[in-house]
Amino acid sequence: MRVATALLLLAVAACADAPRAPPPINPELIAVIPSADGHVGAVMVRSGGGEQLLDRAYLARRLMADGSIDATPISPAEVTLAFAAALEALPGRPASFTLYFLEGKDELTSVSRVEMEKVFAELKRRPAPDIVVIGHTDTVGNLSFNDRLSLARAERMRELMIELGIPAGRIQAAGRGKRELLVPTEDNTAEPRNRRVEISVR
């Protein structure tokens, strides 16, 4: 530390006769990259009294050490190289999945049983998942029956996730009965697409 201070004093002394140096600039780079789904958004950058809208993939704005601005686009290879560690540390993208059930039961359809394997593998892959499971029903039966059925569906999924080794504290389960239909129907209508759980994870 003392050495650093001494060096700093020397540096200041050396500069004393030279014209006053401008305050040091942190060189910067800002660039927009395509998102995982291919969509490209926009970032408005304001600096040094100017502004620049970065609204296409790989548009970039650099603040150079001498204070000048360089608006040359960046190459995908440079992004990959310069931001490798940060890109790798990006958390898993929040996702949601829907699984379907047999009429009046908390048992999955055969198609959804297969699908469940994929969904659960994805949940298991995440290091600290926050999972919300919401159960739903179709409109066959009264409100309280469907409230119980929807909760049973969600709880059933939650139990399976716990069996898989996901900590119970990271999974919330709730039932919404026939209150949030995916496909609007009359009351007392059997509709397979409404007999479902929605699983969201982040």
Partner 1 sequence: MRKFWIFVAALLFAASAWANDVGQIKVAKGAVQLERDGKRVAAAVGMPVRASDVLVTGADGSAGITFSDNSLVSVGPGSVFAIDKYRFDSTTHAGEFEGSLRKGKLVAVSGKMVKQSPESMKIRTPSSVMAVRGTEFVVQVDEPATTAAKR
Q: Using the rule CB under 8 A, is 93 a contact of partner 1?
A: yes
User: Per CB under 8 A, which of residues 150..169 are in contact with partner 1?
Assistant: none
DSSP 23: P
Note whether 31 binds partner 1 by CB under 8 A.
yes
Contact characters 37-76, partner 1, x per CB under 8 A: --xxxxxxxxxx-----xx-----x-x-x-----------
200 phi and psi, to 5 degrees?
A: -115, 145
Residue number, 29 or 116, with CB nearest to partner 1: 29
Residue with smaller CB distance to partner 1, 61 or 158: 61
- Of 194, 195, 200, 196, whose CA–CA distance to 182 is shortest? 194
- The tokens for 189 are 């209508």
Kindly state the smallest distance separating residue 4's Cβ from partner 1, in Å.
Answer: 11
Separation between Cα atoms, residue 48 and residue 39, nearest integer Å = 29
Among the candidate windows 21-29, 105-113, 139-147, 182-190, which touches partner 1 by CB under 8 A? 21-29
Among 34, 103, 179, 190, binds partner 1 (CB under 8 A): 34
8 A C-beta contact, residue 95 and residue 118: no
Q: Whole-number minimum distance, CB 49 to partner 1, in Å?
A: 11
65: region left, alpha or beta (phi > 0 left; psi from -120 to 50 alpha): alpha
In Å, the largest CA–CA distance within the chain is 90
The candidate with the shortest Cα–Cα distance to 54, out of 43, 41, 46, 38, is 43
The residues that touch partner 1, with contacts defined as CB under 8 A, are 24-36, 39-48, 54-55, 61, 63, 65, 79, 82-94, 126-128, 130, 202
